[in-house]
């Protein structure tokens, strides 16, 4: 019997869009996803906004990907995965036809539908109207429409430009002896283990969004939060990257679900997570508009973001929520340019955090040296994870960071996500392993996961 999950707006009297995830127990993945969208004036509708074609570990990069490494999900084989930002970029039609094209099934109603098999994972998407080349259609061109009945998690309208859903793993069709592509750790936990996530606005002088002198963050509160009087919870700050904001980790990475399951399985104690935004933060900065590809806004310097967070964000969080104020139960992590910010915190806010997660870090020299650690021994007494994807464009930068840590005799845990590019399936994987191996587990380098380091 097919089992389905229909994702529609709870308040919609008549849905104009829907996403239905069905367990089919047939190949190629054991699941199918039905998209439905109503637009009576559209001439063509593609599904884009983050969803990608598939590839395998033999056709993932460069010419190989461009020539024959882009697979339609109906041709899925166990171990296939998706990547983002391949180089060179996808060729335009007619050389390559985007796989996610909807069919006009009821012209009178303007009803468009599309059904596809999909394997385990998170998928972000939007509808691209009258679009002939998916990578070029965006809010800039006026061709991107967010699903009206599965709205993104965001603080104010416009802060996100894609919705998302998660497909479960079916081992009968997706199990691979070469790659573990089971992302069920990001599915919903049971209600008793399910935390809450919300956006918060706070006073931050000079901020220009969402209002003058007001900035925002998202916060995850574990299921137990508030049940134990006076309890202070460990606190993880988790940063987005370039072109993102504080809602990314929840909307595109299902952070709260990952945290629910890390806590449920006993990998970490109940933990509060704050996901801040580093754009539109500093006085005089240009306004960053989410998803705007035609307007390039520089990433604010990491040291200025650190100074601002120390002055405004961190005190606010500690004054409003039951969170720990000691370095031993505070952590900072981030992806890409958020990994740069994490490194900045490690070097220049060392006394504030004992744990650091640098995911796909876009860092550059100068790095910490052995002389730095001799002068400041606390640099060598932290829990650190550095992780990136095997097909990640920051591969060399992340490896250089590890080389510097080796030279400085700074311990760390390293993961190279075997299916990973610079994208959300990589960062989900890295947050999951950060929670299992590093977070709240003491300084890295003193012991491995299999006993003490050799003397």
What's the pLDDT at 86? 56
Give, as one character, the DSSP assignment of residue 133.
Answer: S
Task: Identify whether the C-beta of residue 246 lies closer than 8 Å to the C-beta of residue 217.
Answer: yes
CA distances from 321 to 235, 385, 438 (A): 10, 26, 24
Question: Which of 382-386, 444-448, 451-455 is the most confident on average?
Answer: 382-386
- pLDDT of 241-285, one tens digit each? 999 999 999 999 999 999 999 999 999 999 999 999 999 999 888
What's the pLDDT at 85? 60
- pLDDT of 46-94, one tens digit each? 999 999 999 999 988 877 887 778 899 999 999 999 988 655 577 778 8
371 φ, ψ to 5°?
Answer: -65, -40
Task: Identify whether the C-beta of residue 84 lies closer than 8 Å to the C-beta of residue 182.
Answer: no
Match 């041709």 to its residue by tokens: 75
Tokens representing residue 332 in the block: 């900072």
- pLDDT of 121-170, one tens digit each? 999 999 999 998 888 888 888 999 999 899 999 999 999 999 999 999 99
- pLDDT of 399-424, one tens digit each? 999 999 999 999 999 999 999 999 99
Tell me: pLDDT of 2 over 90.
no
Residues of the chain with pLDDT > 70, as a percent, come to 93
Tell me: pLDDT of 448 over 70.
no
Residues of the chain with pLDDT > 90, as a percent, come to 82
Task: Identify whether the C-beta of residue 95 lies closer than 8 Å to the C-beta of residue 5.
Answer: no
CA distances from 102 to 80, 128, 243 (A): 23, 10, 28
């Amino acid at each position: 019997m097919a089992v389905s999950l229909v994702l529609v707006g709870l308040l919609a009297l008549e849905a104009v869009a829907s996403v239905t995830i069905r367990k089919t127990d047939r190949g190629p993945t054991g699941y199918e996803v039905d998209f439905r969208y109503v637009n009576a004036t559209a001439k063509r509708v593609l599904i884009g906004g983050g969803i990608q074609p598939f590839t395998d570990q033999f056709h993932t990069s460069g010419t190989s990907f461009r020539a024959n490494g882009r697979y339609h999900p109906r041709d899925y084989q166990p171990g296939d995965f998706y990547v983002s930002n391949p180089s060179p970029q996808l060729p335009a039609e007619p050389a390559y036809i985007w796989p996610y094209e909807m069919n006009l099934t009821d012209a009178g109603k303007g009803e468009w539908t599309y059904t596809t098999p999909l394997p385990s994972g998170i998928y972000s998407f939007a509808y691209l109207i009258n679009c002939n080349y998916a990578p070029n259609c965006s809010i800039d061109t006026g061709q991107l429409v967010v699903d009206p009945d599965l709205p993104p998690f965001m603080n104010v309208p416009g802060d996100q430009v894609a919705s998302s859903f998660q497909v479960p793993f079916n081992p009968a069709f997706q199990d691979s002896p070469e790659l573990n592509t089971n992302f069920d750790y990001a599915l919903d936990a049971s209600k008793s283990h399910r935390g809450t996530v919300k956006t918060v606005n706070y006073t931050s002088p000079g901020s220009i969004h969402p209002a003058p002198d007001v900035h925002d963050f998202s916060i995850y509160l574990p299921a137990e939060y508030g049940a134990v009087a006076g309890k202070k919870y460990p606190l993880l700050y988790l940063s987005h990257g370039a072109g993102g904001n504080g809602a990314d980790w929840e909307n595109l990475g299902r952070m709260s679900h990952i945290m629910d399951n890390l806590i449920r399985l006993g990998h970490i104690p109940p933990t509060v997570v704050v996901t801040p935004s580093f754009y539109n933060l500093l006085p005089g900065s240009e306004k960053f508009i989410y998803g705007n590809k035609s307007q390039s806004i520089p990433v604010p310097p990491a040291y200025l973001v650190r100074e601002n967070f120390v002055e405004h964000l961190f005190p606010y969080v500690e004054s409003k929520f039951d969170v720990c104020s000691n370095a031993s139960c505070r952590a900072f992590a981030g992806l890409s340019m958020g990994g740069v910010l994490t490194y900045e915190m490690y070097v220049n806010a060392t006394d504030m955090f004992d744990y650091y997660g640098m995911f796909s870090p876009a860092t550059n020299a100068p790095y910490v040296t052995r002389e730095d650690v001799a002068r400041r021994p606390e640099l060598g007494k932290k829990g650190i994870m550095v992780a990136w994807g095997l097909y990640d464009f920051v591969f060399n930068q992340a490896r250089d960071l590890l080389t510097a840590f080796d030279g400085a005799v700074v311990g760390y845990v390293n993961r190279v996500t075997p299916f990973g590019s610079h994208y959300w399936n990589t960062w989900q994987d890295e947050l999951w392993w950060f929670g299992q191996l590093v977070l709240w587990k003491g300084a890295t380098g003193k012991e491995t996961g299999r006993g003490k380091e050799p003397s």
